[in-house]
Each structure stands twice: as C-alpha cells, then as structure tokens.
Amino acid sequence: MTLSSRFTEALTYAAELHASQHRKASGEPYVSHLLGVTSLALQYGADEDEAIAALLHDAVEDQGGAVAREAIRERFGSRVVEIVDGCSDTDLSPKPPWRDRKKAYIAHLREATDSVRFISAADKLHNVRSILQEYRMTGPELWKHFGGGRDGTLWYHRGVVETLKQVAPSPIVEELDRAVRELERLAAQEP
C-alpha cells in the first residue's frame, strides 16, 4: 500500500494537535506514542484510514472532544472519525471516574468494529511496551503515574486482552497478550 497526501496531512495535524502533550511516565513528547501506534498498525496491515485513525486515536479524548471530532470528520472522513471515536473512552471534560471509563471501554470492545478493535490493540500494545520499558528503568515507582495504579493498570490491560482474544483473535492481540503477561510477571515479583 502507498500512503497518500491524506496520511501526510494527518501526520502533521496529529503533531500539531498534541504538540504540548507528554507521556505520563517518561515525559517524552506524546507524538512518539502516536507514531508508535501507527507504526504497529501499519506493520500488522492497516489500510490508510486505519493508519490515519491510529495517528488521531487520542485527539477526541485528549485534545478537543466534539470540536476535534468534527475537524477530523471534515478533514479525513466518517470512517476515520468512527474509528477514533471507538478508540476513545470519553470526550467529556472533566473525565468520568477512571475505573468506570475503563469498564465501559472493555465492554464496548465486544460490539466495536474490527477496525476499532485493531487500532485499540495497537494502542494498548504500544502502551504496555512503553510501561515495560519504563518499569525496567524505574521499577514499581512507575505505577504512581497511572490513574488505576498497579492493580488497576494490570486489571485493565488484562481485560482488554481477554475481550479481544474472545471477539477478535489476531496476531496483534497475541502480541498484546505476550506483553501484558510480561508486565504481570514483573509486577508479581514486586515486594
């Protein structure tokens, strides 16, 4: 597949939209996450709309809610915005309680489209790999950066994996399962 100028436009838009945002634990520019998710999606066979949605998957949730949603629809079309919406656990500000949002998101994956499940798996895989990397550098102190702490973070990612394994088994879900198992293994060794 050859990516068109739409992808280039989405890449620039995502970088501009998230320019001031940083990752929770590492502090690295947030665009690194968007690029990582997009890279995984492309490696596992994303089409252009899915790749664009991977770049923009956090735009509605973190960078503008309904305004961002409509901008994405106008610029990149209904399919892209449907995937982005499906990957968002809220567009409200302030956000509802963490555990309630995560429970609803896991339940939502059962009814989501294949494209939403695919981009969600890429997102969670990149997140878990990033958590693993940071954990190896900082140890259990890492958990303080996450709304669900250690137990909630592990519960959430295991819930996503188990749901995706049931409704949309695929190579990327298998890889996500391996990454979550590694995180669980490390966490189980904590004092």
Residue 78 exposed, middle or buried by CB count within 10 Å (0-12, 13-18, 19+): exposed
Give the three-class secondary structure for 96. coil
CA 98 to each of CA 111, 127, 131: distance values in angstroms, whole numbers, following the listed order: 21, 17, 18
Catalytic residue among 49, 50, 61, 177: 61
Q: Quick check: is 62 catalytic?
A: yes
Interatomic CA distance for residues 54 and 100, integer angstroms: 24
Catalytic residue among 49, 50, 58, 62: 62
Query: What DSSP string describes 50-66?
Result: HHHHHHHTTHHHHTTHH
Furthest-apart CA pair in the chain: how many Å? Answer: 51
Interatomic CA distance for residues 158 and 88, integer angstroms: 18
Q: Quick check: is 91 catalytic?
A: no
**Active-site residues: which are they?**
61-62
